[in-house]
Amino acid sequence: MYPRQGILQPQNIDASDELIEIAARYRTEIMADLAAQYRCTIGTEGGASRIGALMCVCCKSSGAE
């Protein structure tokens, strides 16, 4: 176990490789579902803009720049 950090990941938390893999799968699934929902409701361009804004907020909150 060793610390992992990055986008959408809590900093300074020890986690096993298995836990990191599970979290990555969930993040991928959530982002795909969110993109599909936005595509159906506000369109691809609007959805991309919102997802981009979300990613910026996550980067700022994690200290990444």
> pLDDT tens digit string along 16-34?
888 888 988 998 999 899 9
Amino acid at 25: R
The string of DSSP letters for 8-53 reads TEEEEEEE-HHHHHHHHHHHHHHHHHHHHHHHHHTHHHHHHHHHHH
Is residue 40 over pLDDT 80?
A: yes
Is residue 13 over pLDDT 70?
A: no
pLDDT for the residue 15:
74
What is this structure's pTM? Answer: 0.58
